Structure 1
Amino acid sequence: MNPRLAAFNALTAVTRGGAYTSLALKEHIPSDMPAESKRFAAALVRTTLENLLKIDYALDAFIKSARVHGSVRNILRLGACQIMFMGTKDYAAVNESALLAKSLKPQTSGFVNAVLRALINGLGGIVYPSGRNAKYLSIEYSYPEWICEKYVADFGFDFTEKLLSYKAPLSTSVRMNALKTHAAEFESSLAKARLSFSRGSVEDSYAVEGMSDIENMREFKGGLFAVQSESSMRAVLAAGIKKGDRLLDCCAAPGGKSAYAAALTDNGIEITAWDVHEHRVEMTKKNFSRLGVKNARVSLRDASVYAPEFEGGFDVVMIDAPCSSMGLMAKNPDIRYSARQQDITALSEKQRAIISACGRYVKPQGTLAYFTCSLNKEENELITDGFIEGGFGFEYVSKQTLFPHICGSDGFYIAVMRRKK
């Protein structure tokens, strides 16, 4: 398959079908495609999504028709991305885009050719928004304007610009599974697989280049590693889990944080893991089995519904709360375009219900750890501050927000609280 056609199919799955970028790439880039073509197709999709609003703004300067069909728009986006951001020769970007249009919608080939040639000739004359305002940030860094307005209000303009300008690395962040291997053996296995890597800033974390088809890797199947960000690992470390603890992971799937806790304690903890969806319960069980996690019970349960039989029963309760995932927008740009303010409002109500119920399962002097992969105060400080002030008998041990452009990993909120006597 032509890599540009694969990129078109993946981009369309994201922009018109609401697919996650990673899943769209996995589904639409054939496994038997040459490695160089795979890399080009994936880079083309990601770069287009990372710059989507700026690309559209530039294209709209040269499109005279009131409405362009979504398929044609995506062909133009891919062509413009190659011209504006990927260093593809102009003639190649135009010709390949016109050929793609001819194969998909033959009557639009001339239109695609004309628009992209006009873009090349007029690129230097486009006047983009400027000034210290949300419109400038939105077009320059390709984030919807409402997100820019929200972040400027919360963090200030200069900080927001640094945050939005951050480009996530293309490497895959993985955690070596100390239950099944050690550093020398793991690094040797990566080298044998001809994968370049570097150690991360958290013990047992690695940044690995060129990983693809991860689930079929021998090392993955054997449980030697899990895909996990450094921010996620830092959240588990902050919880201070120690041998002998009874741990409740009440929004557990796919189980990465509990599995890391098991590795940190050499399977010396007792894990109770819940999730509200049956298929995610099964996913967690499979991951625990693959990673060699022992002493774990995984069950179907809605963490927002209080269960009195668990009152005061755990040394540590982790709440990896369902959230907007907007701390992952640099790594997963599709989230930028699917996020909605009304979703944040609904999620915050769910988060309050979960922390109110699950906080009661912590023993006196025990630990409640609340995490999100969001930077939104409505999902973070406002939830935990409200809980602390709500008479539940907890006090802060620590709280922090990890910003991607500062920590070099996912955006995360981590709050650790202790139940008073």
Structure 2
Amino acid sequence: MTTNTNIRELVLDILIEVNEKDQYSHLVIRSVLDKYQYLDKKERAFLTRLAEGTIEHQIEMDYMIDSFSKVKVRKMKPLIRNLLRMSVYQLRYMDAIPDSAVCNEAVKLAKKRGFRQLSGFVNGVLRSIVREGDKLLYPDAAIEPKRYLEVKYSVPGWIIKRWMKAYGFEQTETILSNFYQESPLTIRTNRTKCTPEELQTRLINEQVTVERIGKIPAESGEFKDALGRLEDYAFKISDFDHLQSLQTFQDGDFYVQDLSSMLVAEMAAPKKGDYVIDVCAAPGGKSSHIAELMDGTGMVEARDLTEYKTDLIEENIRRHGLSNMKAVCMDATVFDRDSVEKADILVCDLPCSGLGVMGKKTDIRYKMTEAKEKELVQLQRQILKTVIPYVKENGTVIYSTCTIDRAENEENAAWIEREFPELSLVAMKQMLPGEAGNDGFFISKFVRRKHE
């Protein structure tokens, strides 16, 4: 490392914030990287990998520690359990770091942070794992399939149980494995500012590796057509330090967005002059995409609950130079009489469990519970019941989530049909993580028929 900053200590503090103070990992990591901007690219990469990797593999780390420690992880001092977790992650997944260095650094950190009396315990557990860790037996998939998947992929058992019921053991394992595959950062061209070819040239001039997303396999129909259109203006980018360092990003030449998320605008199929209401829009990716497709005509009203969220939307409106989009601070659960039958397109990309994006938001698996998910389903239905009257006759309703749970997806789509018989379901797709390189995502499209 090239500075005097102790990167491991920064990671330890990140883990404590996330695991003991219930903070979100991506926000904590971003805050630390912003605070320590002088760290070089190698240090930033080490910090990010160690923090995210430890969180992502936490159940597995705890299983290993519990197998070699008389004191179970849940009974340890918070600092000690997080110090052991990040150290075991280095031993298991970061081969370039000598085992002795991992153990020595952990002991030093324990002493530095006021736990000198436990430094011998830390050293003993880690040395045992160095000697015997390769012999540790994991749960047998044939005897304990749920526990096997829980430990191997560090996903809580209640999620495993639900997905095994919905998808079966083999497909569930494929889904979990795909969360660990490195996925490219995908962007879409802001065609109000440049052509895809111009963007590609500008990125190459910034020494960014950029490539077209290529052909995306899909069955026939509207979904395939929408994916096909993405091939014209979506790219994969890599080999850059961070987004803020790119002039193309600063200039709003592109928007960072997963392929599955881009499908919302394409499936909505806006026409020039349409009025669009996006009821939970922050940070504004889907709204800005729709505004761009309307080529400066019509209006996209991007709503969200707080000023903080609408500020994020406004920042994106400014950076992307969109004249036909506005941010509105509004609670989607509160009925707005002025919005009734106002929207040609109503976008309901609603708060959800987020279990389809666990590969990118590593800690969401631990923060979500069965009880919280049930509450989310009720919230989703409350919002839908409130806002669906906003769509015009012959208008389109898009309901989407970034999860793969049937209660929030297919069951909610069926509920919409029962609750609103004037809506006809015309397309529905559950995308699983890794399909075409995208996140887990659900999208459904309804059209409101004329009053009889």
Q: Residues 28-84 of structure 1: CA distance to partner in whole angstroms, max 9, x if unpaired?
A: 242111211111111111221221111110111111125321111111111111111
Partner of 2:112: 103
Decide which of 82, 89, 111 is 1:74's aligned counterpart. 82
Task: Give the aligned residue type for 2:50.
Answer: L
1:323-338 alignment to 2 at 5 Å?
323-338=352-367
Would you say the 8 A contact 2:355–2:365 is kept in 1? yes
Alpha-carbon distance in structure 1 between the residues aligned to 2:434 and 2:250: 32
Shift of 1:286: 2.0
1:7-406 alignment to 2 at 5 Å?
7-29=11-33, 30-66=36-72, 67-87=75-95, 88-104=97-113, 105-132=115-142, 133-166=145-178, 167-169=180-182, 171-201=184-214, 202-203=230-231, 204-215=233-244, 217-406=246-435
Alpha-carbon distance in structure 2 between the residues aligned to 1:95 and 1:405: 38
Shift of 1:158: 1.1
Alpha-carbon distance in structure 2 between the residues aligned to 1:197 and 1:17: 38
Structure 1 length normalisation: TM-score? 0.95
| Unaligned stretches of 5+ residues in structure 1 | none
Change (3 A) 1:173 1:14: farther
* Aligned residues: CA RMSD: 1.8
Shift of 1:417: 0.5
Would you say the 8 A contact 2:288–2:325 is kept in 1? no
Change (3 A) 1:396 1:255: same
Change (3 A) 1:95 1:198: farther
Alpha-carbon distance in structure 2 between the residues aligned to 1:293 and 1:99: 53
Alpha-carbon distance in structure 1 between the residues aligned to 2:282 and 2:166: 30
Alpha-carbon distance in structure 2 between the residues aligned to 1:195 and 1:10: 29
Alpha-carbon distance in structure 2 between the residues aligned to 1:20 and 1:210: 26
Alpha-carbon distance in structure 1 between the residues aligned to 2:238 and 2:108: 32
**Local SS of the residue matching 2:194:** coil
Change (3 A) 1:304 1:362: same
Partner of 2:225: none
Deviates more, 1:402-411 or 1:153-162: 402-411
Task: Give the aligned residue type for 1:63.
Answer: S
Would you say the 8 A contact 1:9–1:28 is kept in 2? no
Alpha-carbon distance in structure 2 between the residues aligned to 1:306 and 1:401: 29
Alpha-carbon distance in structure 1 between the residues aligned to 2:255 and 2:284: 10
Alpha-carbon distance in structure 1 between the residues aligned to 2:327 and 2:47: 39
Alpha-carbon distance in structure 2 between the residues aligned to 1:97 and 1:188: 46
Change (3 A) 1:243 1:86: same
Alpha-carbon distance in structure 1 between the residues aligned to 2:252 and 2:446: 32
Alpha-carbon distance in structure 2 between the residues aligned to 1:349 and 1:329: 22
Would you say the 8 A contact 2:183–2:437 is kept in 1? no
Shift of 1:211: 4.4
Task: Give the aligned residue type for 1:96.
Answer: E
Task: Give the aligned residue type for 1:156.
Answer: G
**Local SS of the residue matching 2:360:** coil
Would you say the 8 A contact 1:168–1:408 is kept in 2? no
Alpha-carbon distance in structure 2 between the residues aligned to 1:16 and 1:205: 39
**Local SS of the residue matching 1:235:** helix
Shift of 1:212: 4.5
**Local SS of the residue matching 2:419:** coil
Structure 2 length normalisation: TM-score? 0.88
Total equivalences in the alignment? 421
**Local SS of the residue matching 2:430:** strand
Change (3 A) 1:208 1:109: farther
Alpha-carbon distance in structure 2 between the residues aligned to 1:296 and 1:184: 25
Shift of 1:216: 5.5
Alpha-carbon distance in structure 2 between the residues aligned to 1:362 and 1:265: 18
Change (3 A) 1:210 1:18: farther
Alpha-carbon distance in structure 2 between the residues aligned to 1:212 and 1:24: 18
Alpha-carbon distance in structure 2 between the residues aligned to 1:380 and 1:97: 44
Would you say the 8 A contact 1:7–1:28 is kept in 2? no
**Local SS of the residue matching 1:18:** coil
**Local SS of the residue matching 1:156:** helix
Alpha-carbon distance in structure 2 between the residues aligned to 1:95 and 1:408: 40
Task: Give the aligned residue type for 1:69.
Answer: K
Q: Residues 366-392 of structure 1: CA distance to partner in whole angstroms, max 9, x if unpaired?
A: 111111111111211111211112244
Alpha-carbon distance in structure 1 between the residues aligned to 2:123 and 2:206: 42
Q: Residues 287-307 of structure 1: CA distance to partner in whole angstroms, max 9, x if unpaired?
A: 112111112232222222222
Q: Residues 99-124 of structure 1: CA distance to partner in whole angstroms, max 9, x if unpaired?
A: 22232233332222211110011112
Shift of 1:315: 1.3
Would you say the 8 A contact 2:424–2:446 is kept in 1? yes
Change (3 A) 1:194 1:95: farther
Alpha-carbon distance in structure 1 between the residues aligned to 2:136 and 2:371: 34
| Unaligned stretches of 5+ residues in structure 2 | 215-229
Shift of 1:357: 2.2
Task: Give the aligned residue type for 1:100.
Answer: L
